[in-house]
Each structure stands twice: as structure tokens, then as C-alpha cells.
Structure 1
Amino acid sequence: MNVIDLRRDFHRYPELGFSEFRTASKVVEVLKFLGFNVLFGEDAIDSDSRRGVPSKRELDEAYARALKYGANLEIIEKMKGGNTAVVGELKGKKEGPTVAFRFDMDALPIHESSDEDHYPHAEEFSSEFSGTMHACAHDGHTAMGLLLAERLADREFAGTLKLIFQPAEEGGRGGYAMSQKGIVDDVDFLFCSHLGLDLPLGEVHGGNSKFLASSKMKAYFYGVPSHAGGTPEKGRNALLGAATALLNIHAIPRFSGGTTRVNVGILEGGTAANIIPSEASMVIDVRSDKAEIKDELEERVKSIVEHSALMHGLTSKIDIIGEATTIQPDPELVSVVLEEAKQIDGFTSFKEDCDISLGSEDASFLIKRVQDRGGKGTYMNIGSPLPAPHHHHKFNIDEAVLPLAVQLLVRIGKRMLT
């Protein structure tokens, strides 16, 4: 297998969270071919713990499209309803620790650029699916995971290798559900990683403690419709209640004890100019570098939503649709990453931690679960310069990072499985 060819294939056929039917199908096929014991569908994820699951219509459309573009029917039949997690396990020839690596698979709802200076377009591997794009390097992550599987398939190691292919990282939706399934409960050492981050090619961070805890919430407001000109007093304006909440959410003060982020990213409501809106909804994101502050922000948002609704005679509800916590890498594993990276030609810059906050990451739940059970984990950054930021329609990685990253993962795996 060629890691760049695999990355380009996944890039060409991007799939949103819990809709990664084609991607997950290809992962299962490769792992089975290499001799791994493979868990997928509800065997690899706690279906009831998933957050922000797409509608049945969206899932059915994604399922049909995956079949059209080469997904294995027998495999994805077990993934129906959006249970697109995959776990591959391979036992070595001797007893030893269980070492896991986690890779995310999902894409983003972005229209990819068709400009000539956009490398995937120029090289003819840009997205075939309008409105969906790999704009965060998860295509590269998935390809790396399969090359790691191939390089260690000879079982010349001691212990158990576990490869975790996670759906729905975007929005913080899949990691928690996989952790709740218990798929890392036997893991002694867990390594997670991310490509890009606009770091120089050749730079490696052994850990990243700068990820923010986050909660993503969807709030619903329910009112009473009425004629906006004839009987406006008979209505209860749900959109007005949502707008009141929006302004007050953004007025939440910053905290002296830590970093905070608050954002209302979506506001929807109403059906016509002459109808008092009877329903409205909004999607809210709160984050902090401390889990307890994030929890306080979440409670304040819930209070604002409730009281904004009451001000306008509405009812309301709020759902958690995504979540992540903080990450505290274990120094022992940070050292392992950097020591192995220094043995690879092409890596030239080494840091123990990241310098800046990089958003949120739901691998945090998997790492925390391992650590809570006495194991160790880390999250490493593997640098690539970027022509545009993550989540941008011209995002792309320097593909030269891919073989370097595979070498690093292989060296880590062989070192830990002894």
C-alpha cells in the first residue's frame, strides 16, 4: 500500500461524522486482509452514547452513496444507523502490553475549492461529493493507520496492537461513545496524533496539553404562530426568544481563572415574513482550558436559554450534541515520541508540548479513560505547513509528512510492543 494513494482516495470520497460508511468499509477490508480481528458497527461503539447523530434521511442518503462508490454491502449493513466505528486487534507472537493508536475518519461540510492553485484540484483528487471535504487531515490520519497496520502485520512483537478508527471527531461526537463501549479499557498505552497545524515540516510535538474542554449544545424554542399584521399579540415569537438568548450568551463574562470561548454558530427560525415564528433553534459552543470552567459556562448557557424563553412566553429545551475534555499527556510517552522521532531522517524540530491552544479534541475521552484505569496516553502533533487554515476550503497538507508520520508510528509501536 502507498500512504499517499490511500490519502488521496479518502480525500476524494469524504464522509461526514457517523456517515463514514465507505471509509469505514475500506478500513475493515484492509484490516481483515492483514489478519486483524476486526470489530465494527455496534461492536465498536456504544450507539446510545453518540451525540449529534444525523437524521435518518441523511444517513440513508450517505449509505446509498457509499454503496455507489464501492462500499462493501456486507460490512456496512452492520453499520446502519451511523455506527461507523472500527477497531482492529492483532496479537503478537509473545505476551506483552496492549498498545493502541487512534485515527479519526470524518470530513467537514465544506465546499472544496476548484481554483487551479488548490493542489487536490490540480492533481485531480478533490472531493467528488459536493459540500463535503476533508479539510482537517483526517484523510491522512486514516491512511496512516492502515499503513501502520500493514507494517506490523507480521506479528513480530510482544503484546497486542489495537488500532482505533473513530467516526465523528468533528463536533466532539464519536470519541465519547467509543470510550463508553469500553474499547480502550484493556489499553496500557494510547497514542493519538494530528497532522498539519501549520507547523514546519519536520516538527514533532510529543504531547499537546493545550486542547480546550468544550460543550456543543442545540437549544430549541417553542412559541405560538399568529398573523404578524392582524393579530401579533396572539403569537409568541420563538425567534425573538432565541435572539434574546444569543445576545445574553455572548455577554457571559470571561473568567479570571482560565481561558474561555463562547460562540453561537447557528440561529434558525421562522417560515414567512407575515407569520410570528413558532419555532427556532440555535447551536452554541463553549470552551475552556479547564473542565470545571467549561461546565460552569454550560450551566450559564442553559440558564440563559431557559429564562430567555420564559421572557417571551415560550418553552425550551437544550441538548448536548458534542463534547470534549482536556488532555494531560503522560511525560513517559511524550519522551518516547520524541526519542523515536529523532531517529528518523526528515524530523528536525522537537518539542514536548504545543505552544498555543488548538481548539478541542474528543480523543480526550479515550485518553482519560485509559489514564483513569492506570494506563498512559499522549496526543502528538506532526507538522505540515498549510496553504490555508484547518476547516478552510483550500486546506491541504504537504504529503511529504505522510511517510514520515508512518515511520514514527511504526517505531513507536515496535518500541512499546516489547
Structure 2
Amino acid sequence: MELDVIALRRDLHAHPEVGFTEFRTAAKVVEILLSLGYEVQYGEETMDGPSRRGLPSEEALEEAYQRALRDGANPDIVSKMRGGYTAVIGVKKGQAPGPTVGFRFDMDALPIRESADADHAPQAKGFRSVYEGSMHACAHDGHTAVGLGLAAKLADGSFHGTVKLIFQPAEEGVRGAYAIVQKGCLDDVDYLFCHHQGTDVPTGEFHGGGQGFLASTKLAARFYGVSSHAGASPEKGRNALLGAATALMNIHALPRFSTGSTRVNVGVLEGGTAANIVPEFARMVIETRSVSEETNNDLEQRVRRIIAHSAEMHELRYEIDVIGAAIPIRCDEELVQLAMEEARQVEGFHTVKASVESAMGSEDASFMIRRVQEKGGKGTYMIIGSHLPAPHHHPKFDIEEEILPRGVELLSRIARRVLT
């Protein structure tokens, strides 16, 4: 059976949903997998609730849930996802025993307003986002479409072993994979293949592995003080915003490390209500990154100490939550070479390479690959090149749609190669 992956991608592109709110997308994935005869797990079956990171507010989750219902999501399916349980796993057992091969596809969009310029292909061709302020600006619509195209290719079950297709929410901010891992959904996977489209690799080029993904931790810190009149009695107040600002300056003053490249950034700082009121609340969002997991952990602990001492200095209470995390990816050479061999057999791939360095980014598929490897299996993270008219996370981001059927063919060949 074949799916029109280009038409499917355009539908997904027009209805982008950010992390943990992918209700319409996930419901469509469930419907298609069921129609193809897959055993399908979704809702709380697929995610450990407390392990979800950076979960949106209850109001945001409910608003997105109701929007999905208005836009045609199957109410019987989507009701199991209510509250942000939007992962979907499709399982197809073959005609004889064999290994389990997993493929992971991320589904979420970004909080970006998509370009409405006439030279932007989704606008010109009529599939620009209908949700203002949200956009598929990182190819996850293409990833999901390829995953469903692969499901159709393997629906006959004519292989030895089991295929497990993992559709992950909330990759952006590296938030969603960890809860799937903690639920145990990767524990039976012998071989795991993850991929990304684009990433500054040109159309027609394929890389069997990705290198250079950074360990990262995303933290949300909240400071609690006491409000007071800023003119009449400032000494009676405890300035939460000042405490947060103190932390910000010292976080950005952290030294470099001899053990590996690092990054640190305070991306959000907010607080206060009026010019004449000492702010009683402030919030900041911070990320740390490093090529080394150990160095990132050290950097994170230094950030935590700065927050604690800044709060103490200004007599504030504080809280810190981890809202996202990733670890480095180590690809298994056996799978890198296998993927390269199969790519050479697919029309349209004219350049095949072993690996490509990431642009100092992070990926929470890292937790999935690590768990498979810890259980004795193997994993890799592949790159399918695509010309990009604008960078990832840009309002004019788009992919070359010709890569979608090519990606389906490649992953199908990989699956059947492993499951012979």
C-alpha cells in the first residue's frame, strides 16, 4: 500500500501543533496506523506522566485539545491523549520471529508565525499554517509523513521480526523523548533508526550518522519576594526581579571549560507589575550545553548554585524545574554503514557519507538511542538532505518535497534489511 506522503505532509504543515498539544496530528497518526493493521499504543500507555518536561499549562493543553476536536480529530481517540499524552507507537509483527527494529519520528511544531509572502511555497501552494503563531519550521511534518509512509510500506508484515514506529511529541526544547523512555517503550528494541531532514545538508545527500549533538539542560527558575511601595517603603520589599537579574549576570559570567566547548544562555527574564512596586515575582529560563555530558552536568550545578545564592542574597524563595534535557549521541558504526549501503540503492541519493557534525544543537532522541544501547542494542541518527530556502526555525523555512518518498523508500529498505 502507498500513501501520498506529500499531501499528508501538507495537511500536517497547515495544522502545526507545539509540544504536548499535537492532538490532531497524533489522532491522525493513530487512525492511519489502525487502518494499516498495526497494533497501536497511545495516551498514557506510551508516556510516563511525571517524566514529561516543560508541559504547557492546563489551560493551553485544554485549548489545543478543543481546537483539535473542532478541526476533525477523532474524539474517541483524542480523549485518551487529553492532558498532553500525545505519543503514538505502532507495532507490526512479521510472519516469523526475529529482532525488533524501531524508527522514531517527531511531530511537534514551533511557536513561530509563518511567512505569508508570495515567494514562500506553503503560502503560494495553499498549505500555510492555519494556526497563527505556530509553524512547522523544523521539518517535523515531513518526519511524521515519512513515518506513516513507512508504515504503509511495511503493512503486509512480510518480514521476520517486529517493527516499532515511535511518533514522539515535544522534541523542540528536548522535552518529549525522556517520558517515552521512562515508560519502558524502548526496552525491547534491538535496532533504532532516527533521522532528520535538512540540517544544512543539500538535497540528494545522505549521512548514515550524526555527530556533535550537545548535552543540554533547560531550567525554569522562579523567584518569590515581597511587594512594597518602591518610593515610600522600598526597604520593606524583597525584589524578586533584582534577584533574578543578579543570577542572570553571574550565569553569563561563568568561565569556559577545558574539558569541552560549552554554551549557557538566559533566554527569558520576566517579572514585576508596575514602576512603583517592588517586584514580588520573577521567572527566568536558562539552558546549558556542552559536547560532554559530564561538563554539562557541572555547568548545570554551577547555574543552580548561582540561582540559590542570588535568591539568598536578596532574601527570596526560589524553585527550579528541569523543562528539557538531552545527552550526546553515539551512533553505532554497524548501523551507519548499513544505512549508507541502502541509501546507495535509492534513486536520488547521489552523495552518501558516514557522518555529519551537527551545528551545536541538541536532540532528545539521544535518550532513546542511549536506552537501546544500554539494553545491548544499536542505534544511529541519520540525516536526509534537503535544500532549504531559509534556516531551521525561520518564518520561511520549507523542505524539498521530493525527499519524502525517497525517505520512505530508504527506511523501508533499512527495515527489510534488518528483518530478513
Q: Which residue of 2 is the match for residue 170 of structure 1?
A: 172
Distance 1:334 1:254 in 2: 33
Q: What code does the residue aligned with 1:32 have?
A: L
Per-residue deviation, residues 298-354 of structure 1 (Å, max 9, x unmatched): 000000001111111211111101001111000000001100001111101122111
Aligned to 1:46: 48
* Secondary structure of residue in 2 paired with 1:384: coil
- Give the match for residue 22 of structure 1: 24
Q: For residue 382 of structure 2, give the secondary structure of its aligned residue in structure 1.
A: strand
Q: What SS is found at the alignment partner of 1:353?
A: strand
Sort the Cα spacing of 1:356 and 1:59 in 2 relative to 1 into closer, same or farther, 3 A: closer
Q: Deviations over 1:195-221 (max 9, x none)?
A: 011211011110112110100000111
Which residue in the other structure is 1:212 paired with?
214
Q: Which runs of 4+ in 1 moved over 2 A?
A: 355-358
Supply the distance in 2 between the matched residues of 1:356 and 1:272 (Cα, whole angstroms). 43
Q: Residues of 1 paired with 2:394 and 2:256: CA distance?
A: 28
- The offset of 1:96, in angstroms, is 0.7
Aligned to 1:316: 318
Aligned to 2:138: 136
Q: Secondary structure at the match of 2:181?
A: helix
CA distance in 2 between partners of 1:309 and 1:318 (Å)? 12
Shift of 1:355: 3.0
Amino acid at match of 1:107: A
Contact 1:28 1:38 in 2 (8 A): yes
> Aligned Cα RMSD in Å?
0.8
CA contact (8 A) 2:210 2:358 kept: no
Secondary structure of the corresponding residue to residue 61 of structure 1: helix
1:347 pairs with 2:370: no
Matches within 5 A, 1:72-221: 72-221=74-223
8 Å CA contact 1:107–1:134 kept in 2: the answer is yes
Give the Cα–Cα distance (whole angstroms) in 1 for the partners of residues 196 and 10 of structure 2. 17
Q: How does 1:274-289 map to 2 (within 5 A)?
A: 274-289=276-291
Residue 364 of structure 1 corresponds to which residue in structure 2? Answer: 366
State the TM-score, normalized to the length of structure 2.
0.98
Partner in structure 2 of residue 9 of structure 1: 11
Query: Residues 389 and 398 of structure 2 are in contact (CA less than 8 Å); yes or no, is this contact kept in structure 1?
Result: yes
Give 2:390's aligned residue.
388
Equivalent pair of 1:195/1:381 in contact (CA under 8 Å): yes
Paired position in structure 1 for 2:70 = 68
Q: Please give the alpha-carbon distance, in whole angstroms, between the structure 2 residues aligned to 1:50 and 1:330.
A: 27
- What SS does the corresponding residue of 1:216 show, helix, strand or coil? strand
- Looking at structure 2, the residues matched to 354 and 261 of structure 1 have their Cα atoms a distance apart, in angstroms, of 20
Whether contact under 8 Å (1:212, 1:357) holds in the other structure is no
Alpha-carbon deviations, 1:284-308, whole Å to 9, x = none?
A: 0100111000100100000000111
Q: Secondary structure at the match of 2:131?
A: coil
Q: CA deviation at 1:358?
A: 4.2
Q: Is the 8 A contact 1:221 1:309 kept in 2?
A: yes
How far the C-alpha of 1:356 sits from its partner, in A, is 4.1
Q: Which of 336, 339, 348 is residue 337 of structure 1 equivalent to?
A: 339
Distance of 1:193 and 1:103 partners within structure 2: 8
**Could you tell me whether the CA contact under 8 Å between 2:210 and 2:383 is conserved in 1?**
yes
Other-structure match for 1:223: 225
Q: Which residue in 2 is equivalent to 1:59?
A: 61
Check the 8 A contact 2:260/2:291 in 1, yes or no: yes
Give 1:357 deviation, angstroms. 3.2
Identical aligned pairs, as a percentage? 63
In structure 2, stretches of 5+ residues that fail to align are none
AA of the residue aligned to 2:261? T
* Maintained 8 Å contact 2:204/2:386: yes
3-state SS in 2 of match to 1:297? helix
SS of the aligned residue for 2:211 comes to coil
CA shift, 1:132, in A, is: 0.6
Count of paired positions: 418
The answer (yes or no) to whether the contact 1:197–1:385 under 8 Å persists in 2 is no
- Structure 1 counterpart SS, 2:408: helix
Q: Secondary structure at the match of 2:24?
A: helix
* One of 399, 402, 414 as aligned partner of 1:400: 402
What does the per-residue CA deviation read over 1:216-240, in whole Å, with 9 as the maximum and x for residues that have no partner? 0001111110011111111111111
Please list every run of 5 or more consecutive structure 1 residues that lacks an aligned counterpart in the other structure: none
Distance 1:323 1:252 in 2: 20
User: Which residue does 1:234 correspond to in 2?
Assistant: 236
Alignment partner of 1:258 is 2:238 = no
Q: Which residue of 2 aligns with 1:248?
A: 250
Q: Distance in 1 between matches of 2:360 and 2:10?
A: 25
Q: For 1:285 and 1:385, how far apart are their aligned partners in 2?
A: 29
Q: Post-superposition shift, 1:122?
A: 1.0
Give me the whole-angstrom Cα distance separating, in 1, the residues matched to 2:250 and 2:405.
Answer: 48
Distance of 1:75 and 1:110 partners within structure 2: 28
